[in-house]
Amino acid sequence: MTTTPAIDIVGTKKSGRPIGLLLVAAPVLLVCWMVIWPIISAIARTVWLPNEGSGRSFSLETYAFFFSDQYSINNLTVTLWTTGVTALLLLLICLPIALYLRFAKGRLAAYVQGLAIFPMFVPSIILSYAVIRVLGPNGTVDLLLNSVGLPHIRSPYLTPWGPVIGLVWDNIPLTVLILLSGLGNVSNQSIEAARDVGAGRFALLWHIILPRISNSILVAVSFTVLGIFSAFTLPYVLGPAAPEMMGPFMQRTFRDLNDPTNAITQAVIAFAFCIVFGLFYVRSVAKNRAP
C-alpha cells in the first residue's frame, strides 16, 4: 500500500489541520493513558520504591527478590519452556499445512484451509473445556481406549503439557495464515526453475522456499512468543498449580496475594523477555501498512 496524500474534503486545507488533530485526540489520549503511561509507571514504581523515611528512592530490591526466589525462577523457566515448545510445535505443524495449501487446489484444500482457520472462531475458554473433556481424566480418549481394552493415558491436564496443547491449538490459524501469506511471495517460476535443474523436494524447501519466507517465520514466532509469554486463560485452566506460567503467577500475586509491586515487577520482567520480539513484530506490521 502506498501513502496517498490527504486531500481535504471537509473545509479548506488551513482549517483541516486542527480539526484532524481534534478528531484523533480521544483514541490517541486513551493509548497514552492506558498503554504508554502504565508501562512507564510500571518501570518507575518498581525501581523507585518507598524507603524507610517518607520518600522514595532508587532500588532494585523487587528484581533481586524475583531472581533469588526459587519459586519465581521456576515459574519463569516453565514459561520459557512452554513458549519454546509451543513455538517449535506450531512451526512443525503449520509449515507443512501452509506448504500444502500454497500448492494444492480444489475442494480438499479448501476444506483443510477452513479447518486450519476454524480455531480462530473458538474462544479459548471453550477450547479449555473441550481439552478437559477429551484429554482429562475419564475423558473421551480414556473412554475409547477403555472400550478396546487399553490402559488410560497419562492425562496432560494439570501438567505443563496441558497449556502447550491448548496454546498450539489456539495459535494454528494465525500461524498458518502468516506463513501462507509469506509463501505467496515465492514465485512459481523460481520453483519450476529449481525443479528443472533437478532439485529434490527437500532441496527445494531448504534452498528456495525457506530463505524466502524466513521473515514470515520470524513474524509468526514473534507473534506466538508475545501471545504465549503472558497467556492467562489456558495456563490458568489447563496448567499445574505449581510451577505456574507468568500469566497466572502475575494474576495471583496481584489479586490473591494483594501485592501489586511484585506483580508489576513480574510484568516488567515479562516485557524485558519479549521486547525484541515485540519491536520486530510491530515493525513488520507497520511496514505493511501506511496511513
Partner 1 sequence: MARALTERRIDWTGIFFAVALTLVIVFPLLVVGTWAFTNVWRYPSVIPQEFGLKFWYQTLARADVWSAITMSLSLATMVTLLSAIICLPAAYAFARMDFPGRNILFFSFLAGHAFPKFGLLVAIAGIFLSLNLIGTFWGVVLIQLVGTLLFMIWIPVAAFQSVDRRMEEAARDVGAGPFRVFWSITLPQAGPTIAAAVLLSFVGTFYETEGAWLIGAPQIRTLPVLMISFINNQPVIQYGAVLSVLLWIPSFIALLFARRVISSGSFARGFGA
Which residues inside 214-253 make contact with partner 1, applying CB under 8 A? 216, 219-220, 222-223, 226-227, 229-233, 236-237, 246-247, 250-251
Minimum CB distance to partner 1, residue 52 (Å): 22
Binder to partner 1 among 95, 174, 209, 221 (CB under 8 A)?
A: 174
Q: What's the rounded Cα separation, in Å, for the pair 195 and 206?
A: 13
Binder to partner 1 among 62, 86, 124, 155 (CB under 8 A)?
A: 124
Q: What is the DSSP letter of 119?
A: G
Binder to partner 1 among 78, 94, 180, 221 (CB under 8 A)?
A: 180
91 burial level (CB within 10 Å; 0-12, 13-18, 19+) = middle
Please report whether residue 161 would count as binding partner 1 according to CB under 8 A: no
Please report whether residue 138 would count as binding partner 1 according to CB under 8 A: yes
Minimum CB distance to partner 1, residue 57 (Å): 19
Please report whether residue 84 would count as binding partner 1 according to CB under 8 A: no
What is each CA distance from 79 to 154, 163, 204, 247, in whole angstroms?
A: 22, 10, 35, 9
Please report whether residue 18 would count as binding partner 1 according to CB under 8 A: yes
What is each CA distance from 116 to 83, 123, 129, 176, 214, in whole angstroms?
A: 21, 15, 20, 7, 21
Binder to partner 1 among 51, 57, 77, 140 (CB under 8 A)?
A: 140
Please report whether residue 288 would count as binding partner 1 according to CB under 8 A: yes
Binder to partner 1 among 74, 194, 195, 204 (CB under 8 A)?
A: 195
Please report whether residue 178 would count as binding partner 1 according to CB under 8 A: yes
Binder to partner 1 among 61, 73, 133, 210 (CB under 8 A)?
A: 133
End-to-end CA distance of the chain: 9
Please report whether residue 44 would count as binding partner 1 according to CB under 8 A: no
Question: Chain-centre distance of CA 152, in angstroms?
Answer: 32
The three three-digit cell numbers of residue 218, written as one number: 520470524
Q: Which is nearer to partner 1, 72 or 113 (CB)?
A: 113
Q: What's the rounded Cα separation, in Å, for the pair 209 and 205?
A: 5
Q: Which is nearer to partner 1, 31 or 210 (CB)?
A: 31
CB 98 within 8 A of CB 176: yes
What one-character-per-residue DSSP string does 140-186 give?
HHHHHHHHTTPPPP---TTSTHHHHHHHHHHHHHHHHHHHHHHHTTS
Q: Which is nearer to partner 1, 85 or 100 (CB)?
A: 100
CB 248 within 8 A of CB 75: no
What does residue 99 show for φ and ψ, rounded to 5 degrees?
Answer: -60, -45
Please report whether residue 256 would count as binding partner 1 according to CB under 8 A: no
Please report whether residue 181 would count as binding partner 1 according to CB under 8 A: yes
Residues 6+ apart with CB under 8 A from 125: 233, 237
CB 46 within 8 A of CB 264: yes
Please report whether residue 95 would count as binding partner 1 according to CB under 8 A: no
Minimum CB distance to partner 1, residue 248 (Å): 9
Give strand ranges (E) for the chain. Answer: 48-50, 56-58
Binder to partner 1 among 80, 85, 91, 112 (CB under 8 A)?
A: 112
Please report whether residue 37 would count as binding partner 1 according to CB under 8 A: yes
Q: Which stretch binds partner 1 (CB under 8 A): 51-59, 65-73, 113-121, 198-206?
A: 113-121
